[in-house]
Amino acid sequence: MLTENEIAAPDPDLTPEEVLARARALHEVVRGEAESTEAAGGYSPDLHRRFVDAGFFRIVQPRRLGGYQFSLETYLRVIMEIARADMGTAWNLSLGTAHTLQVCAYLDEPTQVELFAPDGHFSAPHRAAPVGRATPVEGGYVVTGRWEYSSGVTHATHVILGAMSPDPAGGPDRVLAPVIPIESVTVLDDWGGQRSLGLRGSGSNTVVVEDVFVPEARAPVYDWPYADIPPEGTVGYRMHGDPMYLGRTLAIYYGEIAALVTGAARSSLQEYERLLLERTTPLPPVVPRTQSPRHLRLLGAARARVQAAEILVVQAAREYRERGERWERDREPFTVADDDAIRCVLIEAAKLAGSVIEELFKMGGSREIRPGSILQRNHRDWSTAATHPFFSFDLIAEMSARLHLGLPVEVVF
């Protein structure tokens, strides 16, 4: 029986295996809508309903708030599967759903209950760049700003935005992460079609906020990637009794990216194999590509790298879970450096997957530069994703070394 302030999940008997099967079952639908998704800038309302009905928005959502409280591994497996059908659609879905973990780790209990009421459906992209302003007023803040590239906003219930605000103690301005209902913001029609090289279906529209009041409880300080875990755990851990809500963030954010690129790499691999079986070499002596050592070598190497990337993503998610469980059981520290070490594994997965997408596109043949090509779309999506600050691998390597050695983290992106 539900207690006060608890929300029932739509399908209480759903299992991790079933939610993953639902993702696989939607593959042809997602692939079939990929071109129209790109043109529109986001996936269709019908596909959104299918995602909602499949439970994708509730995978890592606490049971008490209407979710299934599955593992990060289950979540990343689902994202990889949707990305295998279309990376842009999966980017939109992933960046609209994963931030449930931070909301349910750091916001207080009444605020969590309010945000997930009345039925438990919640989706909030997080545009972390602090390009807005949060002016203190009685009871909270007035937020103003303009945030480009708010991926996942096309079907969001809320947005989480980065905003600078004065420090009450007189120190440097703080970065806040106000959570704002979608009805209180303006989403510009500036994504999709020819507005970007790739990730056209990612819903990366600009969000504009003009003098919106946000209660203090909904505007936490944004220190999530580097926050210490209190001895008693975060608010979310105490509320939900699960180390998934301890607030460690680096592995989650990079887990999303790695899963997206790895799913797309699997898609490119499958398409390249199909072309290898069907086509001939372009120049004399013209033979089936199955008789070309060059094509066969590339296929063999690509298969190994994609499988390695998939294993890295899954194992990193398991390591994340195990570190949280060791903290819960033994109070073994789960530090930012530990989180970063998992992040670095996920970065290697993304590197492997990205290299596959690039090489298979180059070897696919000139026909694969045309619209509608899976190899071309994946290459465009990967090339666009690689411009994200998260892909500044050299700077992240420096940050990782600093964390490992206990040096100040002063890396400028």
Give, in order, the Cα–Cα distances in Å from 183 to each of 111, 187, 216, 282. Answer: 18, 10, 19, 55
* Predicted confidence (pLDDT) per residue in 65-94, tens digit: 999 999 999 999 999 999 999 999 999 999
Strands 158-165, 126-137: pairing kind: parallel
Span 158-198, pLDDT tens digits: 999 999 999 999 999 999 999 999 999 999 999 999 999 99
Report the alpha-carbon distance of residue 59 to residue 71 in Å, rounded. Answer: 8
Confidence band for 1, pLDDT divided at 50, 70 and 90: very low
**Is 80 exceeded by the pLDDT of residue 217?**
yes
% the chain with pLDDT above 70:
98
- Distance of CA 86 to CAs 52, 322, 352, 376, 378, Å? 18, 31, 18, 12, 8
**Contacts with 3 (C-beta within 8 Å, 6 or more apart), sequence order:** none
Where does residue 68 rank: exposed (0-12), middle (13-18), buried (19+ CB within 10 A)? Answer: buried
Question: Is the per-residue pLDDT at 57 higher than 90?
Answer: yes
Average per-residue pLDDT in the chain? 96
What fold is seen in the domain 248-405?
A: Butyryl-CoA Dehydrogenase, subunit A; domain 3 (1.20.140)
What superfamily does domain 126-223 belong to in CATH? Answer: Butyryl-CoA Dehydrogenase, subunit A, domain 2 (2.40.110.10)
Position 411 confidence tier, pLDDT thresholds 50, 70, 90: low
The predicted pLDDT at position 212 comes to 98
Query: Looking at residue 308, what is its pLDDT?
Result: 98
Name the nearest CA neighbour of 317 among 271, 387, 258. 258
Enumerate the domain spans of the chain.
Answer: 16-116, 126-223, 248-405
**Could you read off the pLDDT of 247-288 as tens digits, one per residue?**
999 999 999 999 999 999 999 999 999 999 999 999 999 999
- Would you list the DSSP string of 305-359? HHHHHHHHHHHHHHHHHHHHHHHHHH-----HHHHHHHHHHHHHHHHHHHHHHHH
Average pLDDT over residues 366-392: 94
- Nearest Cα to 83, choosing from 250, 309, 370, 403? 309
In the numeric block, which tokens belong to residue 402?
Answer: 């600093």
> CA 78 to CA 22: how far, in whole Å?
9
For the cut 80, the answer to whether the pLDDT of residue 413 exceeds it is: no
CATH number corresponding to 16-116? 1.10.540.10
Across 3-31, average pLDDT: 94
**pLDDT band of 391, cuts 50, 70, 90:** confident
Q: For the segment 145-160, what is each residue's pLDDT rounded down to a tens digit?
A: 999 999 999 999 999 9
Q: Token digits for 296?
A: 């066969």
Report pLDDT for 389.
83
Q: Which of 3-12, 93-102, 269-278, 380-389 has the lowest mean pLDDT?
A: 3-12
Cis peptide before 168 (omega within 30 of 0): no
pLDDT at 2 over 50: no
pLDDT at position 388 is: 87
> What pLDDT, on a 0 to 100 scale, did the predictor assign at position 4?
63
Amino acid symbol at 174: R
